[in-house]
Chain A
Amino acid sequence: AQSVTQLDSQVPVFEEAPVELRCNYSSSVSVYLFWYVQYPNQGLQLLLKYLSGSTLVKGINGFEAEFNKSQTSFHLRKPSVHISDTAEYFCAVSGSSGYSTLTFGKGTMLLVSP
């Protein structure tokens, strides 16, 4: 079984500032890691995912995340945020053995103000 912890329920930040959204996972097997974004009154959209290979993953809208196996983390970063980045961000994990589905963290609300 796997689990995901998103350490911050809400992150306020000013426009054009950098941001990091934290995600830690636990699993007894190798995992695949995902970040999804949910804008108000919409479904979820994939930002990026880590399956294997390079630990630095680049996604859409200028976001990137780094997989750190020793710290079991997959933090999401953006060097300069926009008002339009205001949304709920979910970190998710799936296992690499057998039948596996996504396990989501509780989400982090990113609030970007001018």
Chain B
Amino acid sequence: DTEVTQTPKHLVMGMTNKKSLKCEQHMGHRAMYWYKQKAKKPPELMFVYSYEKLSINESVPSRFSPECPNSSLLNLHLHALQPEDSALYLCASSQDDLAGTDTQYFGPGTRLTVL
């Protein structure tokens, strides 16, 4: 099973709302990632968790708050977002290390629209 699942598939929220994105993998991977992808652009790395600890935060605004409750689950909590935060949010996972050799497995993404 090489599947990464993400819920919801689509999300529309107002600027005052609080919502969460969920990502799950059952491949035993110990590294998990959040990416943001705008239309016609490559994915931009937001956060990396390694062994359930936040390893990399790419200077993401605090209105995005990641959480890794266990090794299979990754959440992204959203609060007071701006319209420019509308994008496809991709979750990925890889075997364990960040040495650069591992394949990252991507979920289908959550299409977020901020009104």
A binds B: yes
Cα–Cα, bound, A31→B105 (Å)? 19
The tally of CB-CB contacts under 8 A between chains A and B is 57
In the bound complex, do residue A100 and residue B99 qualify as a contact, i.e. CB atoms below 8 Å apart? yes
Most chain-B Cβ atoms within 10 A of its Cβ — which of A31, A105, A107? A107
Inter-chain contacts of B90 with A (CB < 8 A):
43-44
In the bound complex, do residue A44 and residue B106 qualify as a contact, i.e. CB atoms below 8 Å apart? yes
In the bound complex, do residue A99 and residue B109 qualify as a contact, i.e. CB atoms below 8 Å apart? no
Inter-chain contacts of A43 with B (CB < 8 A):
4, 90, 92, 106-109
Cα–Cα, bound, A102→B103 (Å)? 10
A78 located at the interface, meaning its Cβ lies under 8 Å from any Cβ of chain B in the complex: no
In the bound complex, do residue B42 and residue A104 qualify as a contact, i.e. CB atoms below 8 Å apart? yes
In the bound complex, do residue B42 and residue A42 qualify as a contact, i.e. CB atoms below 8 Å apart? no
In the bound complex, do residue A95 and residue B42 qualify as a contact, i.e. CB atoms below 8 Å apart? no
In the bound complex, do residue B98 and residue A99 qualify as a contact, i.e. CB atoms below 8 Å apart? yes
- Knowing A95-B100, A101-B98, the reply to whether A45 touches B42 (Cβ < 8 A) is no
- Knowing A43-B108, A43-B109, A101-B48, the reply to whether A90 touches B42 (Cβ < 8 A) is yes
In the bound complex, do residue B100 and residue A100 qualify as a contact, i.e. CB atoms below 8 Å apart? yes
| Chain B 88-112 interface mask (CB, 8 Å, partner A; 1/0) | 0010100000111101111111010
**In-complex Cβ contact of B43 among A31, A41, A51, A104 (8 A):** A104
Beta-carbon nearest neighbor of A32 in chain B: B100
Cα–Cα, bound, A2→B56 (Å)? 17
Cβ-closest 7 pairs across A and B:
A94-B100, A43-B106, A100-B100, A104-B42, A44-B106, A43-B108, A32-B100
Interface of A with B (CB < 8 Å)? 31-32, 34, 36, 41-46, 49, 51, 90, 94-96, 99-102, 104-107
Q: List 30 A-B contacts (CB under 8 A).
A: A31-B100, A32-B100, A36-B106, A42-B108, A43-B4, A43-B92, A43-B107, A43-B109, A44-B43, A44-B92, A46-B103, A46-B104, A49-B103, A51-B101, A90-B42, A90-B43, A94-B100, A95-B100, A99-B55, A99-B98, A100-B99, A100-B100, A101-B33, A101-B56, A101-B98, A101-B100, A104-B43, A106-B41, A107-B40, A107-B41
